[in-house]
Structure 1
């Protein structure tokens, strides 16, 4: 039960045994479940890079990730396609999101890509496999149908359904690929008006479940750099839901909202009205709807394969 410290062994890892040369008998190593999800961490290359962050270059990010590996057993870091890119693997998006939020609060500025699952190959059959999880959802009876549709559309297979007459809720149990859980939480909360409770647990690897569509809508993408104007946004908001409000600085290529249809739509959110001495009542009364507030979790769940999230303090 004594607590002691060893100095001078920089390469020792958690779970390894320090033994005497005369009796080199190692203890049973702690087995940690392998990561199931990966995300790319990149140096921020947007036009607004370096405005807020204290640690912005690849060396700072690399050193911080290496320090995290010393105490975060389930995390692994691999080199990316360039010196400015790192692939961080963890036990689900929440695991990696906690690290991202911690680094953000410490003053780091960087970009992250969308989460993707880590597949494997069955040594016996040679078949491609992916991680699966058990999802348990508790929701009011009137919203169970919406939950069943969401899980079914993501290659989910129902295992059990139990109704609680006293509470007026129903608990459903599904088995589905981890890919199907990416972005599921927000869709489920929207479909159930925030009343559903979702819990998941890892259930091992199984055959690849085929294509899963997690997002049907495109993005509103700014094609001009400048300051967003109310005059421009009043037209843009008719095409979908905005993430920005008038007066915010934007740059070319920035995602500023959700397109109401599939496919991305380039828009000019920095267009200014020409100065004239004529005004109509209709122009004066036009209001821009409040933007959709996006948390870090929301952004990670939303972005597509060709989009990035810019993380700043």
Structure 2
């Protein structure tokens, strides 16, 4: 629900196109992007109402706060020396690239945030490529320059080389560099002898280098929708940049689809603008400004909201195609419906939720499954993006089954099979580099670069790997590097099929009985492999309870209890010592699954199981 907005702010209501600067902050996941935005708000004396007391006022979703990443793009505004700055915080992970792509249509400049130690990462290349392709001249901010491990000169060279490799023009290469420490709240134009007092240099540079918005020279109002959100009182709220004309509260408008079809008509009931982390109401909005409007109930992302006399829709940004697909279906296990927190179980409810997600997130596509009845194929960028969707659904009370991700192949111009390839950058301790290269080579990865990292004793390795080879590898990577490795990845292109992968995962232990797992039985099964469950967990035939030590699947009985007799034992019974089970997060579980397996997701529990529970039917299927 949207908080009540204060009365009309005169300076925001009367802003003109000459006094507006629209800029997006783009960066790799952990480069301190949201901290920097919060410090800019503080410098502009905007209130930050962060209830958690942290420094991530822009990240409002629970999952964003828990994981420390940006998932959904957000807009905020501030006034600086008479100029209104609209700042868009974009996700840094390539899986959420759809957010980055649609935001680029709203801004006229980008602030490329790079870590002074790590330098450009794989995903830095992804977001920068999108900005350069739209002809935007970047403003480079090298963050965390006050760290002992910073290597500012080398990073500046890496950023320049990256832009050259991405085809930047001479004008784009003539960019300004600002040196900053977001956590300490200062930015300077010179390093290392520049003043370290406040963020004024960065704010002044944004005003100076980012051009004013380019608008259409016509009086009729038009705006492309880039984001939508729901409000219990106002209904659907559409966010976008006004491309032409002026819109006032009470004006009659229409919504046009990308092909020019009229979707909806209505009256503007509210015009809102972001200020800091709050909202202000406006009487009108003019060309060049980023605002939110309410009054239309069918307008969605990529639609054009415009005056009734406008007949042609505005062009919308092209979006990269999905690379993975997962099947969502109703839960049909013996434990279906037994979770007390489950409120949404039917195929119809699941379908409505997925269609609503696809309406707001243009990087996701949904279609009825051709292989399973009452199921839906959900296509997206990566397992993290789809895993976040599943996690949000389970928190909303959904109970469902999720099949493992499958790579989406293409057919080339000569009929050849093409598959998605990703750029992968890993940074590991020297002693682990051999294990990482060996494991990725088994997954058809090709190493393109290997060099010492900024931190002594570590190595940075750059590879190109098929997307299917990276499924399930993240947990193996962290195990091989003892949790000290860093891995980033970004979609590169579709290339010819690299060949079949060898068996990169062992078999599993599958329950053959219904009941409650016992310590006695799990103790006997420990030599067979690694357990995924604790004693006392309810199991059923077809449920996966562990990983087999060999390549084949094994049917086991996890509910066997010790037979009690009145015979006196010669010695004391051995105490059962169970190794703690392997704990999976949802993002780890989904890519771990094999094609004949699936995840059973409820608000309280996630389990692994075979898609076909009956062992006899499974054998016939093979």
Q: What is the aligned partner in structure 2 of residue 310 from structure 1?
A: 600
1:45 and 1:288 map into 2 onto residues whose CA distance is 31
Structure scoring higher RCO (CA < 8 A, sep ≥ 6) equals 1
Task: Choose from 306, 310, 324 the match for 1:37.
Answer: 324
Q: What is the aligned partner in structure 2 of residue 146 from structure 1?
A: 435
The answer as to whether partners of 1:19 and 1:25 remain within 8 angstroms in 2 is no
- Post-superposition Cα deviations, 1:62-89, rounded to whole Å, max 9, x if no partner, equal 1111111121110011101344211111
2:602 and 2:311 map into 1 onto residues whose CA distance is 48
- 1:158 counterpart = 2:447: yes
The answer as to whether partners of 1:223 and 1:251 remain within 8 angstroms in 2 is yes
Shift in Å, 1:32: 1.4
- 1:50 counterpart = 2:337: yes
Q: What is the aligned partner in structure 1 of residue 530 from structure 2?
A: 241
RMSD: 1.7
2:312 and 2:536 map into 1 onto residues whose CA distance is 66
- 1:97 counterpart = 2:387: yes
- Post-superposition Cα deviations, 1:238-285, rounded to whole Å, max 9, x if no partner, equal 100111121211111110000000110000011122221234645342
The answer as to whether partners of 1:138 and 1:172 remain within 8 angstroms in 2 is yes
Q: What is the aligned partner in structure 1 of residue 504 from structure 2?
A: 215
Alignment of structure 1 residues 131-280 onto 2, 5 Å: 131-164=420-453, 166-213=455-502, 215-277=504-566, 278-279=568-569
Task: Choose from 397, 403, 416 the match for 1:107.
Answer: 397
Change (3 A) 1:70 1:171: same
Task: Choose from 291, 300, 316 the match for 1:3.
Answer: 291
Change (3 A) 1:290 1:34: same
Query: Alignment length, in residue pairs?
Result: 311
The answer as to whether partners of 1:153 and 1:212 remain within 8 angstroms in 2 is yes
Shift in Å, 1:21: 6.1
- Post-superposition Cα deviations, 1:179-214, rounded to whole Å, max 9, x if no partner, equal 111011111111111111000011011101111236
The answer as to whether partners of 1:38 and 1:118 remain within 8 angstroms in 2 is yes
The answer as to whether partners of 1:58 and 1:83 remain within 8 angstroms in 2 is no
Shift in Å, 1:288: 2.1
1:62 and 1:165 map into 2 onto residues whose CA distance is 48
TM-score by length of 1: 0.94
- 1:61 counterpart = 2:342: no
Q: What is the aligned partner in structure 2 of residue 301 from structure 1?
A: 591
Shift in Å, 1:215: 2.9
Structure showing greater radius of gyration is: 2
TM-score by length of 2: 0.48
2:304 and 2:481 map into 1 onto residues whose CA distance is 50
Structure 1 unaligned residues grouped into runs of 5+:
none
Q: Alignment partner of 1:270: what SS?
A: coil
Change (3 A) 1:62 1:165: closer
Shift in Å, 1:6: 5.6
2:430 and 2:290 map into 1 onto residues whose CA distance is 53
2:490 and 2:291 map into 1 onto residues whose CA distance is 33
The answer as to whether partners of 1:183 and 1:214 remain within 8 angstroms in 2 is no
Shift in Å, 1:18: 3.5
Q: Alignment partner of 1:235: what SS?
A: helix
Shift in Å, 1:25: 3.5
Task: Choose from 362, 368, 382 the match for 1:79.
Answer: 368
Change (3 A) 1:166 1:268: closer
The answer as to whether partners of 2:471 and 2:592 remain within 8 angstroms in 1 is no
The answer as to whether partners of 1:221 and 1:267 remain within 8 angstroms in 2 is yes
The answer as to whether partners of 1:139 and 1:170 remain within 8 angstroms in 2 is yes
The answer as to whether partners of 1:243 and 1:291 remain within 8 angstroms in 2 is yes
Shift in Å, 1:51: 1.0
The answer as to whether partners of 1:234 and 1:286 remain within 8 angstroms in 2 is yes
1:214 and 1:3 map into 2 onto residues whose CA distance is 52
